[in-house]
C-alpha cells in the first residue's frame, strides 16, 4: 500500500484477486479454492490470465507493482513476454525476507480487516477489542477493527498446515525466480523484513525508483 502511494501506481496482488474470485464464487474462484486453502500454488495459466487482463487496464499505463507474482519460472517467462509486447520490462524486484519460524508466528496470529486491508496480530499488534478483554484468547467474538468496529477475519490459509505447503512452494518454486531476474541483470534487492515495520519501510523507500 505504501509503495503504491509513494510511486502513485497500483498494486496488483494475485492473492487478493484470487480471494475475491473465491468470495464471488466465479469460475476462476472455484478452480482456485482447493489450492489456495491448502497452501498450494494455483496453476500458472490461471494466474497468468488474471494478470494479463489486469495490466491492460488504464490505471496500469504508468506502471504497476506485482505482489505475489510471478511465483514460478514459468510465470516469470510469461510475464517477460507480456511486457516485451509493449517494450517494457521488470525494473526492480524486492524480496522481503523473513525466517520461516518468525513467519509462522506472524501468520498464524494474523487477523485482517478485509475492507481496508488493515492487519492485526494477536501478540504483536492486538486490536483494542482484544486488549480490553485482558488476557483472554483471540476468538472471533472479541476481534474487531479499531477504526470501523467491524469484525476481523483470519485467512483460510493462515494455518500451520497450509503455511508448511506455502513455504515449500516458496523455497522450491519461487526462490529460483530471483535468479531468473538476476541473470537478466535486473536489480534484485533483498530486504530484511524480520525488523519493525518502520525500519523495513525505510529500506524499501531507499531503493524505490524515482522519476
Ligand atoms: P498470497 O496472498 O500472495 O499469500 O497468496 C495466497 C495464495 O493464493 C497462495 O498460497 C496460492 O495458493 C495463491 N496464489 C497467489 N498468487 C499466486 C501465484 N502467482 N501463482 C500461484 N498461486 C498463487
Buried (b) or exposed (e) across 93-118, using 16+ Cβ within 10 A? bbeeebeeeebeebbebbbbbbeeeb
Q: How many domains does the chain have?
A: 1
Task: Give per-residue pLDDT as tens, 141-186.
Answer: 999 999 999 999 999 999 999 999 999 999 999 999 999 999 999 9
CA gap 152, 11 in Å, rounded:
23
Verify whether ligand 1 is closer than 6 Å to residue 174 (CB atom): no
DSSP string, 125-141: B--HHHHHTTT----GG
pLDDT tier at 211 (50, 70, 90 boundaries)? low
Verify whether ligand 1 is closer than 6 Å to residue 43 (CB atom): no
**What is the pLDDT, as a whole number, of residue 135?**
86
Kindly state whether residue 42 falls inside one of the protein's structural domains. yes
Kindly state whether residue 79 falls inside one of the protein's structural domains. yes
Kindly state whether residue 25 falls inside one of the protein's structural domains. yes
Structural domain of 30: 1-90
Check pLDDT > 70 for residue 45: yes
Kindly state whether residue 55 falls inside one of the protein's structural domains. yes
**What is the pLDDT, as a whole number, of residue 1?**
81
Check pLDDT > 80 for residue 5: yes
Q: Report CA 32 to chain centroid distance, whole Å.
A: 16
Kindly give, in sequence order, each residue whose CB lies less than 8 Å from that of residue 30, ignoring residues fewer than 6 positions away. Answer: 22
Question: Residue 164 C-alpha to ligand 1 middle, in angstroms?
Answer: 14
Question: Residue 32 C-alpha to ligand 1 middle, in angstroms?
Answer: 9
Burial of 72 (0-12, 13-18, 19+ CB in 10 A): buried
Kindly state whether residue 160 falls inside one of the protein's structural domains. no
Kindly give, in sequence order, each residue whose CB lies less than 8 Å from that of residue 91, ignoring residues fewer than 6 positions away. Answer: 63, 186, 187, 209
Task: Give per-residue pLDDT as tens, 185-206.
Answer: 999 999 999 999 999 999 999 9
Q: Domain with 22 in it: what CATH number?
A: 3.40.50.300
Kindly state whether residue 181 falls inside one of the protein's structural domains. no
Reported pTM: 0.92
Kindly state whether residue 36 falls inside one of the protein's structural domains. yes
pLDDT tier at 30 (50, 70, 90 boundaries)? very high
Q: Which of 34, 41, 98, 158 to mutate to test the pocket of ligand 1 (most atoms within 8 A of CB)?
A: 41
Q: Please give the mean pLDDT across all residues of the chain.
A: 95
Kindly state whether residue 63 falls inside one of the protein's structural domains. yes
Question: Residue 129 C-alpha to ligand 1 middle, in angstroms?
Answer: 30
Amino acid at each position: 500500500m505504501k509503495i503504491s502511494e509513494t510511486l502513485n501506481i497500483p498494486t496488483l496482488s494475485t492473492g487478493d484477486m484470487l480471494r475475491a474470485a473465491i468470495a464471488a464464487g466465479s469460475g476462476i474462484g472455484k478452480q482456485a479454492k482447493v489450492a489456495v486453502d491448502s497452501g498450494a500454488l494455483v496453476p500458472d495459466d490461471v494466474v497468468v490470465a488474471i494478470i494479463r487482463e489486469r495490466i491492460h487496464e488504464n490505471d496500469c499505463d504508468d506502471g504497476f507493482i506485482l505482489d505475489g507474482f510471478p511465483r514460478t519460472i514459468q510465470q516469470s517467462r510469461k510475464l517477460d513476454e507480456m511486457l516485451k509486447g509493449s517494450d517494457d520490462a521488470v525494473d526492480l524486484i524486492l524480496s522481503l525476507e523473513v525466517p520461516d519460524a518468525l513467519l509462522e508466528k506472524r501468520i498464524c496470529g494474523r487477523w485482517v480487516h478485509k475492507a481496508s486491508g488493515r492487519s492485526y496480530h494477536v501478540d504483536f499488534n492486538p486490536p483494542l477489542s482484544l486488549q480490553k478483554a485482558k488476557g483472554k484468547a483471540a476468538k472471533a467474538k472479541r476481534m474487531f477493527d479499531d477504526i470501523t468496529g467491524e469484525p476481523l477475519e483470519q485467512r483460510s490459509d493462515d494455518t500451520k498446515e497450509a503455511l508448511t505447503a506455502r513455504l515449500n512452494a516458496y523455497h522450491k518454486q519461487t526462490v529460483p525466480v530471483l535468479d531468473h531476474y538476476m541473470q537478466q541483470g535486473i536489480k534484485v534487492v533483498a530486504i530484511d523484513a524480520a525488523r519493525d515495520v518502520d525500519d523495513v519501510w525505510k529500506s524499501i523507500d531507499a531503493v524505490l525508483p524515482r522519476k
